Amino acid sequence: MTRSAATELAQLVQRFFEDYLAALRGMSTHTIRSYRDAVVLWLRFAARDTGRRIETLTLADLTADPVEHFLKSLERDRHNGVGTRNTRLAALHTLMRFLAQQRPASLVQFQTILAIPFKRESRQAPIEYFEAHELDALFGAIDRRSADGRRDYALFALMYNTGARVQEILDLRIEDLRLEPPYQVRLFGKGNKVRTCPLWPVTVQCLRAHLERLSSRDPHAPRPALFTNHNGTPLTRFGVRYLLRKYVTASSATVATLRGKRLRRHSLRHTTALSLLKSGVDFATISQWLGHSALNVTMRYARADLDLKRAALSQVFPDAISPPRGGKLRIDGAELTQWLRRL
C-alpha cells in the first residue's frame, strides 16, 4: 500500500462532502450531518474490521462483505432499528455513486455495494399524535407567567400551527416572521426549499409575548435564532425533546391517555396534519403546508385516524356502526339448531 493510495480515499471523501453534497446536490446541513455520521461509523467499523487505522484505509477496502457486516453490527451491537439501518445504507449508496463517477475503473467493485438492498420493516408503527383534549392539556401545563414559559408556549404553538419539522423551527430568525396582516412565517425545509405558512392570530399573540422577552435583553446583542436558551445560543432538538417530555409528563397526571403514548417532537407535526385532514383540507394543500416531497407521503395520514375510518365506514355501510335497535329476539328451536350448525 502506497501513501498516495491511503490519501486518495480521504481526498475523495472530503470532495464528497464539500463539493458534491453541498454544492452540486444542494443538500441541507442536517442531511449532510446525517451522511457524515454514517460515513464516520462505517470508517471506524472498517478500521476495526481490518485491524488498521482509519487514515490507512484505501478504496480497495470498500467492498460489499464488510458493508454487510457493518449493517448487521448496527442492529446487533448498536441496537438500531431498520429505519436507521436503511438511512446509513442510503448514505453509503450515495458515496458509492460519487466514487464510481470519480473512479470509473472501480465501478464493478462499487456496484457490489450498491446492490445491497434496503431492509423491509416487519411492521410499520402507528402514527402517534395528540388528540384535542391531550393538546389542550399540554398547553395548559405550560406556565406562561415566566419568560421561559412564554418561550415554550410560543415554540409549541408555532410547531402546531405550521406543522413544521423541529429543525425548521429552530432555524427560524426573527426576520422570517411577519406579525402584521397577513400573518405568515417563512420556513426553510429539506433540500433548501422555502415555503410560506400562514399564522393564526392566537399564534401571533404568543410570538409577540415571546419577542418582548427578547427585546428586554441587550439591544446590541446578536440574536441568531428565534428560540434560544439561557445562554443565548439556539435551542437544540434535544432541548425541544426535553421540554416536550417535561410538559407531557406534567399533563399526563390529569389526562390518562397520555401515559400510554410514545409522543415525540414529530408528534406535533402529525397532529397538525390530522387536524387539517379532519377539517376537510385536501391532500395537495396539506402536502404543501407540511413541505412533503410527494403526495403519497401525505396520504399515510388517511390511515392513521380512527375517526376518519369511522366516517368512511358510515358512508359505505351506514348500518354497520349505527346504534343497536331495540326489540326481542324471536326464534324457534328448529331455526336455532340450524343457525348453530352454520357457525
**248 and 205 housed in the same domain:** yes
pLDDT given at position 149:
95
pLDDT at position 322 over 80: no
- pLDDT tens profile 115-160: 999 998 755 667 889 999 999 999 999 999 999 999 999 999 999 9
**74 and 142 housed in the same domain:** no
**97 and 31 housed in the same domain:** yes
327 by Cβ neighbours in 10 Å (0-12 / 13-18 / 19+) ranks as exposed
119: in domain = no
**308 and 166 housed in the same domain:** yes
**56 and 154 housed in the same domain:** no
Count of domains forming the chain: 2
For the chain, the residue count is 343
Q: Per-residue pLDDT averaged across 169-173, rounded?
A: 94
Which helix (H) or strand (E) segment holds residue 178: the answer is: strand 177-178
270: in domain = yes
| CATH at 81 | 1.10.150
**167 and 60 housed in the same domain:** no
327: in domain = no
> Looking at this protein, which amino acid is placed at residue 33?
R
> Looking at this protein, which amino acid is placed at residue 1?
M
- pLDDT tens profile 60-97: 999 999 999 999 999 999 999 898 999 999 999 999 99
Strand order, beta sheet including 184-188: 177-178, 184-188, 194-198
248: in domain = yes
**101 and 175 housed in the same domain:** no
- pLDDT tens profile 195-232: 999 999 999 999 999 998 776 665 555 567 899 998 88
**69 and 151 housed in the same domain:** no
* pLDDT category of residue 175 using cuts at 50, 70 and 90: very high
**Cβ atoms of residues 59 and 8 within 8 Å:** yes
pLDDT given at position 13:
94
pTM metric for this prediction: 0.70
Q: In degrees, to the nearest 5, what angle opens at C-alpha 58 toward C-alphas 55 and 62?
A: 120
Helix axes 132-140, 147-162, angle to 10 degrees: 160
Domain that holds residue 306: 132-315
Count CB-CB contacts under 10 A for residue 272: 22
Q: What is d(CA 188, CA 171) in angstroms, rounded to the nearest whole number?
A: 8
**264 and 173 housed in the same domain:** yes
Greater confidence (338 vs 317) lies with 338
- pLDDT tens profile 27-42: 878 789 999 999 999 9
Q: CA of 90: how far to CAs of 49, 291, 330, in Å?
A: 21, 21, 65
pLDDT at position 314 over 90: no
pLDDT at position 5 over 70: no
**192 and 262 housed in the same domain:** yes
**38 and 162 housed in the same domain:** no
28-37, 157-166, 295-304: least confident range: 295-304
**104 and 146 housed in the same domain:** no
